[in-house]
Structure 1
Amino acid sequence: MRFAGIGDEAAADSAGQLDALRQLGWGAIELRNVDGVAIADLDDRAFDALADRIAAAGLDVVCVDSRIANWGRPINGRFEDDLSELRQLARRCATLGTRYIRVMSYPNAGLDEREWARRALDRMALLVRRAEQQGLVLLHENCSGWAGSRADRMRELLDRAGGPALRLLFDIGNGVPYGYDARALLDEIIDHVAHVHVKDARTGPDGQVTYTLPGDGESGVRSCLRALIDHGYTGAWSIEPHTHLRPHQDQNTTGTDGVAAFVRYGRCLEQLVRQEILSGRSPAGGGRHG
Structure 2
Amino acid sequence: MAIRTSVFSDDFVTDFTAAARGAAELGLDGLAVRNVRGRNIKDLEPDDVRRVRRIADDHGLCVSALGSPYGRGFFLDDDGSRQEAERLLDRMLGYADLLGTRLIRIFAPWLRGHDDYAMWSDRPDFTDCLDRLAEQLAPSVRAAERAGAVLMVETEGASHIGQACETALLLERLDSPALALCWDVANAWRSGETPLDGLTAALRLPVVDVHIKDLHADPADPAKAGTRRAVAGEGDVPYRTILPALIDHGYDGFLTVERNYHPRRPEDDPGLTSDVQSDIRNLRAIVDDIYRR
Check whether TM > 0.5.
yes
- What is the rounded CA distance, in whole Å, between the counterparts of 2:217 and 2:261 in structure 1? 16
> Is 1:9 the equivalent of 2:23?
no
* 1:21 CA drift (Å): 0.6
Aligned-pair identity in percent equals 26
Gaps of 5+ in 2: 114-123
**Partner of residue 177, structure 2:** 164
**Partner of residue 127, structure 1:** 140
**Partner of residue 234, structure 1:** 252
Q: 1:18-97 counterparts in 2 under 5 A? A: 18-70=20-72, 72-77=73-78, 78-97=81-100
Contact preservation (8 Å) 2:164, 2:181 = no
Deviations 1:185-210 (A, max 9, x none): 22123232122111111145598512
* 1:178 CA drift (Å): 2.3
Match for residue 104 of structure 2 among 93, 101, 104: 101
* TM-score normalised by the chain length of structure 2: 0.83
**Partner of residue 148, structure 1:** 162
Q: Are residues 208 and 224 of structure 1, via their aligned partners in 2, closer, same or farther at CA, if it must alter by over 3 Å?
A: closer
Deviations 1:221-256 (A, max 9, x none): 11111110111111121111x2xx345xx6x24115
Deviations 1:58-81 (A, max 9, x none): 2111111111114x5443451122
Q: Are residues 176 and 209 of structure 1, via their aligned partners in 2, closer, same or farther at CA, if it must alter by over 3 Å?
A: farther
Q: Are residues 112 and 230 of structure 1, via their aligned partners in 2, closer, same or farther at CA, if it must alter by over 3 Å?
A: closer
* 1:269 CA drift (Å): 1.2
* 1:129 CA drift (Å): 0.5
- What is the rounded CA distance, in whole Å, between the counterparts of 2:233 and 2:216 in structure 1? 11
- What is the rounded CA distance, in whole Å, between the counterparts of 1:14 and 1:220 in structure 2? 31
Contact preservation (8 Å) 1:200, 1:215 = yes
- What is the rounded CA distance, in whole Å, between the counterparts of 2:35 and 2:126 in structure 1? 32
**Partner of residue 209, structure 2:** 195
Gaps of 5+ in 1: 281-290
**Partner of residue 284, structure 1:** none
Task: Output the aligned Cα RMSD.
Answer: 2.4
**Partner of residue 285, structure 1:** none
Q: Are residues 124 and 23 of structure 1, via their aligned partners in 2, closer, same or farther at CA, if it must alter by over 3 Å?
A: same
Letter in 1 for 2:147: Q
- What is the rounded CA distance, in whole Å, between the counterparts of 1:119 and 1:226 in structure 2? 36
* TM-score normalised by the chain length of structure 1: 0.84
* 1:112 CA drift (Å): 7.8
Contact preservation (8 Å) 2:130, 2:170 = no
- Provide the aligned length of Structure 1 versus Structure 2: 271
